[in-house]
């Protein structure tokens, strides 16, 4: 089975300023993809774009802001005429026992993890039509499959992402737009607020995955022949036998 040649394709990567998004941008550029780097931290994006050269375009974007998201995809349309990959990677997790959690934090997670995905996906769909092998790929979590203690609201947002993609796959499949979800377990990234030292130690004990591991999974799904859908990838360290 011959994999797709990704050279010349166009991708939008959200949350591209660090972690999985940054790793994904690097791997995509290595494949000859022009990557539109979207995140809130402009200075980090500029540093990455300087490294990637002419294959990178920076658009400072808060995915929870519909106006900023529309401006991002308007730029993609004007500059490239279409889109081959939307990688919904931007995410926010705040660690807390639910009873003690702050409703303001609930809203922050819902705005980024759910509304961010909805905003970007809706704006991207018209640009994906008619592009062979076009794909929407979103980062969920093992917490979106099983629920994880002290990550209750975060887990709820990721369950919602899974359900959204299940429905969207049925809507867009007839148009040959592929819809994929990646569900990582323990990963070494900047991700997560209020993360305890015990949890950091657990990541070390589990030999947590790297951002590159997750980015490689996305590349694997994207590079499949245009008629092949990799619907879901759940990956975690071999030592992580439970969520």
Q: Is 154 a catalytic residue?
A: yes
Each of the 243 residues of the chain gets a pLDDT tens digit; together they read 678 899 999 999 999 999 999 999 999 999 999 999 999 999 999 999 999 999 999 999 999 999 999 999 999 999 999 999 999 999 999 999 999 999 999 999 999 999 999 999 999 999 999 999 999 999 999 889 898 889 999 999 999 999 999 999 999 999 999 999 999 988 866 555 555 555 566 667 667 888 999 999 999 999 999 999 999 999 998 887 766
Q: How far apart are CA 212 and CA 225, in angstroms?
A: 22
| Other residues' Cβ atoms within 10 Å of the Cβ of residue 202 | 14
10-235: which CATH number, 3.40.50.2000, 3.40.50.720, 3.40.50.300, 1.10.3720.10?
A: 3.40.50.720
pTM: 0.93
Q: How far apart are the first and last CA of the chain?
A: 34
């Amino acid at each position: 089975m011959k994999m797709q040649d990704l050279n010349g394709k166009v991708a939008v990567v959200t949350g591209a300023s660090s972690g999985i998004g940054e790793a994904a941008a690097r791997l995509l550029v290595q494949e000859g993809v022009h990557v539109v780097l979207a995140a809130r931290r402009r200075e980090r994006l500029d540093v990455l774009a300087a490294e990637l050269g002419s294959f990178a375009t920076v658009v400072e974007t808060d995915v929870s802001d519909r106006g900023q998201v529309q401006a991002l995809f308007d730029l993609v349309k004007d500059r490239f005429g279409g889109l081959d990959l939307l990688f919904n990677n931007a995410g926010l997790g705040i660690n807390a026992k639910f009873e003690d959690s702050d409703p303001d934090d609930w809203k922050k997670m819902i705005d980024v993890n759910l509304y961010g995905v909805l905003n970007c996906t809706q704006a991207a769909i018209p640009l994906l039509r008619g592009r062979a092998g076009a794909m929407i790929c979103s980062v969920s979590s093992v917490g979106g499959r099983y629920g994880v203690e002290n990550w209750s609201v975060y887990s709820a947002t990721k369950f919602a992402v899974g359900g959204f993609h299940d429905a969207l796959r049925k809507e867009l499949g007839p148009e040959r737009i592929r819809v994929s979800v990646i569900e990582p377990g323990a990963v070494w990234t900047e991700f997560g607020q209020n993360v305890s030292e015990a949890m950091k130690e657990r990541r070390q004990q589990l030999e947590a995955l790297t951002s590159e591991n997750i980015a490689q999974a996305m590349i694997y799904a994207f590079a499949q022949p245009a008629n092949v859908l990799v619907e879901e990838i759940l990956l975690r360290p071999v030592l992580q036998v439970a969520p």
